[in-house]
Structure 1
Amino acid sequence: MEVSGVELHYGAAVALRGVSLQARMGEVTCLLGRNGVGKTSLLRAVTGAHPVTRGTVRWEGQDITRLPLYERARRGIAWVPQGRDIFPLLTVRENLETGFAVLPRKQRRVSDEIFELFPVLKTMLHRRGGDLSGGQQQQLSLARALVMKPRLLVLDEPTEGIQPSIIKDIGRVIALLRARGEMAILLVEQYFDFAFELGQSLAVMERGEVVIAGRKEALDRAEVLRRVSV
Structure 2
Amino acid sequence: MLLSFEKVTSYYGKTPILKDMTFGLPKGQCLCVLGRNGVGKTTLMRTIMGLTDWSSGEIRIEDQDISKAPTYERAKHGLGYIPQGRQILGNFTVKENILLGTFARSDGDSQVPELCLRLFPYLAENLNKRAGLLSGGQQQQLAIARALATNPQVLLLDEPTEGIQPNIVFEIGETLHMLNKELGITLILTEQHIKVARRLGDAFIMMDNGRIVARGSMDEMTDEVVNKHMTI
Give the TM-score of the pair, scaled to structure 1: 0.95
Number of residue-to-residue matches in the alignment: 230
Comparing 6-15 with 220-229, greater Cα deviation is found at 220-229
Instruction: Show the counterpart of 2:172.
Output: 170
Equivalent in 155, 165, 171 of residue 153 of structure 1: 155
1:65-123: CA deviation from partner (whole Å, max 9, x where unpaired) = 00010110111101000011111110001111111102256522222221221111112
- Distance (whole Å) between structure 1 residues aligned to residue 64 and residue 104 of structure 2: 19
Comparing 16-25 with 92-101, greater Cα deviation is found at 16-25
Judged with a 3 Å threshold, the aligned counterparts in structure 2 of structure 1 residues 105 and 184 are, in CA distance, closer, same or farther, namely: closer
- Helix, strand or coil for the counterpart of 1:172? helix
Comparing 8-17 with 39-48, greater Cα deviation is found at 8-17
Q: Establish whether residue 88 from structure 1 lines up as the match of residue 95 from structure 2.
A: no
Instruction: Show the counterpart of 1:208.
Output: 210
- Distance (whole Å) between structure 1 residues aligned to residue 188 and residue 22 of structure 2: 13
Judged with a 3 Å threshold, the aligned counterparts in structure 2 of structure 1 residues 106 and 72 are, in CA distance, closer, same or farther, namely: closer
Higher relative contact order (CA 8 A, sep 6+): 1
Q: Establish whether residue 185 from structure 1 lines up as the match of residue 197 from structure 2.
A: no
Structure 1 unaligned regions, length at least 5: none
The one-letter code of the counterpart of 2:90 is P
Instruction: Show the counterpart of 1:61.
Output: 63
Residues 1-230 of structure 1 correspond to what in structure 2 (within 5 A)?
1-104=3-106, 106-180=108-182, 182-230=184-232
The one-letter code of the counterpart of 1:63 is D
Please list every run of at least 4 consecutive aligned residues from structure 1 whose deviation after the TM superposition is greater than 4 angstroms: none
- Distance (whole Å) between structure 2 residues aligned to residue 101 and residue 174 of structure 1: 23
Structure 2 unaligned regions, length at least 5: none
The one-letter code of the counterpart of 1:197 is R
Give the TM-score of the pair, scaled to structure 2: 0.94
The one-letter code of the counterpart of 1:166 is I
Identity %: 38
